[in-house]
């Protein structure tokens, strides 16, 4: 059992960040694993946060039950599984510094994309190939840092789906994906009694984070929080790349 009070302080923040992301503050959930990994190794943080995330996915799926588009779900879900498998295979051959650099690049990429994207242009409908790439990338980033939503959104958002259909379909995809991630985390020896017990202790915070995120969206609006959360991603990305600087011979 983890007894470090500093860890639980960070873990509470991490679960709230996850929940706020599910509650409407898209992007801010990417900060959850980096925050918790200040106190524990990356993969352990990811494994502990899996149970609260699955609980949030069940809530989302129940809320939007039978409103999803099965065609979208059937196309994306198997590809995300492929991304998870790729992440699992690569994890056996990379160090903690490699992980920090990879996560840093992901965070920096997503953060800069938000600020540099030209929103004045009409987005083009993605090709089938783009669907394969972004869905697989979503599985990989979900395995690495529970951040699969943004790559998947690069494929889905230009299609201009109905908001409810989009939320329902993505919710079901990530419920299947997060349940699938139980197997590689078990294979990598991260579903220990300690991690499971810690995850269960954090579980009651999951719905609080979701409702808090929805409350903030309704009271203040999304734009300010998007700028704040993506600015944090840029900072986190730079920090993690710097932490892994030994890989570049510095």
Compare 172 and 29 and report the one with higher pLDDT: 172
Q: How far apart are CA 57 and CA 175, in angstroms?
A: 5
Q: What is the C-alpha separation between 225 and 171, in angstroms, rounded? A: 22
Mean pLDDT for all residues in the chain: 81
Q: What is the pLDDT, as a whole number, of residue 120?
A: 56
Q: For residues 61-66, give the mean pLDDT.
A: 82
DSSP string, 165-229: HHHHHHHHHHHHHHHHTHHHHHHTT---HHHHHHHHHHTTHHHHHHHHHHHHHHHH-HHHHHHHH
CA distances from 29 to 9, 20, 210 (A): 17, 7, 11
- pLDDT at residue 121, as a whole number: 59
Comparison of pLDDT for 179 and 104, the residue scoring more? 179
Q: With a cut of 80, say whether residue 246 has pLDDT above it.
A: no
Among 27-31, 89-93, 167-171, the range scoring the smallest mean pLDDT is 27-31
């Amino acid at each position: 059992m983890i007894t470090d009070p500093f860890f639980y302080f960070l873990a509470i923040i991490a679960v709230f960040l996850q929940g706020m992301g599910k509650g409407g503050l898209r992007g801010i959930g990417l900060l959850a694993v980096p925050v918790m990994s200040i106190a524990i190794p990356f993969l352990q943080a990811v494994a502990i946060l899996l149970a609260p995330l699955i609980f949030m996915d069940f809530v989302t799926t129940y809320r939007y039950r039978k409103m999803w588009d099965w065609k979208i779900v059937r196309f994306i879900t198997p590809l995300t599984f492929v991304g998870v498998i790729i992440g699992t295979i690569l994890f056996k051959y990379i160090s903690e510094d490699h992980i920090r650099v990879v996560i840093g690049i992901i965070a920096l990429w997503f953060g800069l994309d938000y600020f540099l994207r030209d929103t004045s242009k009409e987005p083009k409908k993605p090709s089938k190939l783009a669907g394969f790439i972004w869905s697989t990338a979503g599985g990989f980033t979900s395995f690495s840092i529970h951040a699969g939503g943004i790559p998947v959104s690069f494929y889905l958002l230009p299609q201009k789906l109905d908001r409810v259909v989009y939320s329902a379909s993505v919710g079901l995809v990530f419920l299947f994906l997060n349940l699938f991630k139980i197997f590689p985390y078990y294979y990598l020896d991260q579903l220990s009694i300690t991690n499971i017990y810690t995850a269960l202790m954090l579980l009651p915070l999951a719905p609080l984070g979701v409702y808090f995120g929805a409350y903030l969206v309704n009271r203040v609006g999304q734009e300010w929080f998007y700028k704040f959360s993506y600015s944090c991603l840029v900072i986190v990305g730079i920090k993690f790349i710097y932490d892994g600087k030994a890989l570049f011979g510095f």
